Amino acid sequence: MADKKRNSRNTINEQYNAIKVKYPDALLLFRVGDFYETFGEDAIKASAILGIVLTRRANGSEAIY
């Protein structure tokens, strides 16, 4: 099951990166299930703009930066 989660996360990252290449100056919010996520530099920018806590996934669990 861990491989399935890892593969779906890789697919999400690939899709995100493909869109980001087309719109490099846009802040991209990517829908994942019922939530919207950002990645990389977009996550850092979004957390500052929106005043929300920046989190990351570490081994499948969430951790605060």
pLDDT of residue 6: 55
pLDDT of residue 21: 95
Q: For the chain, give me the number of helices (H) and strands (E)? A: 2, 4
Residue 58: band (very low, low, confident or very high) from pLDDT cuts 50, 70, 90: low
For 17-51, the pLDDT digits (tens) are: 999 999 999 999 988 889 888 988 999 999 999 99
Domains belonging to the chain, first-starting first, are: 2-64 (3.40.1170.10)
The structure's pTM equals 0.66
SS3 for 58? strand
More confident residue, 39 or 9: 39
Q: Check: CB of residue 30 under 8 Å from CB of residue 12.
A: yes
